[in-house]
Amino acid sequence: MKAVLGTLFVVTALATGYWECFLMMRQVIGAPGSAWYPLTLGASIVLLSGGILTLFPATRVVWLVAIAILIPFALCVPLGVTWPCMVFSLATGLATWGAFALATTFNRMSLVPLFAGVALAAWWIPEFAYSIVGSARGPVSPALPDMLFGFGVVVLVLASASAGVALLRTPRVDRHPPRLKAKE
């Protein structure tokens, strides 16, 4: 069950992260931007680190935080490394570290994908509903592949948020392996 849920988290993180990168890169050619794009990209990265931990429970959190810092930095390199990019990279790392710290406090590592899944659902569901209503009203309808991709992502986000809740309700599945104490 952990392998299926971890794979769901990773696939959701990759799909939402891809779409957020696409939306952020449209700003380069003059399309309107939003503050939600980097926030949801950060949530996708946190979900990715939670999915990696679900798949590989022995992974150290410091490596997952390092990955969360390096992914946004690597995305910014083609556009030139700027201060906002570096701040975003550090903020994503701090958000990942904070999510893991809170999850460790409650001894529930499933809180990490739950936090990220709820954050993604808070943007994706209203945005997709707005796109559907807008396409029904406006003369220009979005392309069918874009609508199908958006629907698939909404289904993945809902499944990830639900899986985070399901993991939270099953205490044996998400326990972090106990650390060995040094011999005294």
Q: What pLDDT, on the 0 to 100 scale, is given for residue 175?
A: 46
Compute the distance between CA of residue 77 and CA of residue 82 in angstroms, rounded to an integer. 9
For residue 140, the Cα-to-chain-centroid distance in whole angstroms is 30
- Residue 177, pLDDT above cutoff 60: no
**Per-residue pLDDT tens over the stretch 25-69:** 776 666 667 778 888 899 999 999 999 988 888 888 899 999 999
pTM of the model: 0.82
CA-to-CA distance for 164 and 160, rounded, in angstroms? 6
Model pLDDT, residue 166: 81
- DSSP per-residue string spanning 119-157: HHHHHHHHHHHHHHHHHHHSSSPPPHHHHHHHHHHHHHH
